[in-house]
Amino acid sequence: MAQLARTGQCAFRGRSASISPEKRRGLERPGDLGEVTVANGSVKPLAFAGGAELPAVSSDKLAFSSSFNGVNIWRKDLLHPEAPAVELMPSTRAQKNAQYSPNGKRIAFESERAGTMAVWVSSEDGSNLIQLSSPHVRSGSPQWSPDGNKIAFDAHPLDRWEVEVADVSALIPRKLVTNISNVYRPQWSRDGKWIYFRSDEAGRTGIYRCPASGGDAIAMSKDIDGVSPQESFDGDAVYFASHFAEVVLKKVTLRGPPGIESEVDGMPRISESNLWTLTRAGIYFVPADSNKSVRYFDFATRRIRPIFEVDKDFATGLSVSPDGRWIIYSQIGDVNSDIMLVDHFH
């Protein structure tokens, strides 16, 4: 469906307008919105989220319907797992990858509530929302520094990913400058001196770390599929996921002989690469063979016990509060639809 504006331009939904494939290039997803100039037929994409349809244009406004699967953040009481989960910071837009601060008083998470996926911070009950990252750049995967004063996250400002670090009080992100490119999913060392991440740079894929202030990156593993690193609480090892689905959990030693790498003995496969989280005594995870349940792997006994079940699929991210009382996770919900309005549309 296309709508003509008085400016001589036309808004349309990808694949639904009678426009040649050549001129429609770059709008191949059915939910993309594009703008065509009537005089010469040139097409450009509009910087709106996917799932858009039914555009309507006035002299200076654009309205459209935007449909998407709801993904929201929930909190479960680990001391009383029989109690119903509580939804935090509700939104019709996708929200995931929530992480407790070191003191448990705040939560960092990624959300599309303002239109673009960005990093937000809230109080532990989901109130007092603040957007931390740029509203114009896609970003996510937030991780708190050990002192709780900074958050590292990944961002996609141009054609590749980078890691940025923001002071929580100043709300001004800075790029983590290192000698390797296309890096994402950061994680701090327990002493705050290093930031771990994955690189997708050609020929250099895998897990690396560099000084938290920036500097040359050091490869931590020979596994080119390594992702989502988390340092152990004693600082002796780095755990990471191998592969992005049907995940094997591995660890590499940091003390003693360098680079000794092994699978975590007794751990089953995990459903996705960021559906697990370390605690001092074990690992909470979503298993590949039961992807609507959370289980716990005990380091001391090597035994696994069930924690709770959900009725809908998990999205990404698990985090346990520092006191061990709460776990937060994201869950895929129902299909939602919003009417979006763009002012000053020319």
CATH number at residue 290: 2.120.10.30
User: How would DSSP label each residue in 282-308?
Assistant: EEEE-BTT-TTEEEEEETTT--EEEEE
Regarding whether 144 and 53 lie in a shared domain, the answer is no
Regarding whether 313 and 240 lie in a shared domain, the answer is yes
Regarding whether 81 and 44 lie in a shared domain, the answer is no
Q: Which residue has the tokens 């002192």?
A: 147
Regarding whether 51 and 81 lie in a shared domain, the answer is no
Q: What is the pLDDT of residue 6?
A: 41
Q: Where are the alpha helices (DSSP H) in the chain?
A: none
Residue where a domain stops, chosen among 15, 31, 59: 59
The pTM assigned to this predicted structure is 0.80
Does a structural domain hold residue 183?
Answer: yes
Q: What is the pLDDT of residue 315?
A: 95
Query: Could you tell me the residue range of the domain that residue 43 belongs to?
Result: 2-59
Regarding whether 47 and 102 lie in a shared domain, the answer is no
Does a structural domain hold residue 341?
Answer: no
Regarding whether 186 and 45 lie in a shared domain, the answer is no
Q: Does position 59 have pLDDT exceeding 60, yes or no?
A: yes
Regarding whether 266 and 194 lie in a shared domain, the answer is yes
5 close to 345: Cβ distance less than 8 angstroms: yes
Greatest Cα pair distance in the chain: 72
162 close to 179: Cβ distance less than 8 angstroms: no
79 close to 308: Cβ distance less than 8 angstroms: no
First-last CA distance in the chain? 18
Mean pLDDT of the chain: 87
Residue type for position 232? S
Q: Does position 29 have pLDDT exceeding 70, yes or no?
A: no
Closest by alpha carbon to 84, among 285, 311, 280? Answer: 311
Regarding whether 220 and 148 lie in a shared domain, the answer is yes
Q: Could you tell me the two tokens for 211? A: 């000084």
User: How distant, in Å, are the alpha carbons of 82, 117, 256, 314, 327 from that of 79?
Assistant: 9, 33, 37, 21, 10
Regarding whether 134 and 42 lie in a shared domain, the answer is no
| Euclidean distance between CA atoms 226 and 237, whole angstroms | 14
Q: Does position 170 have pLDDT exceeding 80, yes or no?
A: yes
How many domains does one find in the chain? 2
SS3 state at 66: strand
Regarding whether 290 and 171 lie in a shared domain, the answer is yes
Q: What is the pLDDT of residue 36?
A: 72
Regarding whether 250 and 136 lie in a shared domain, the answer is yes
Regarding whether 132 and 27 lie in a shared domain, the answer is no
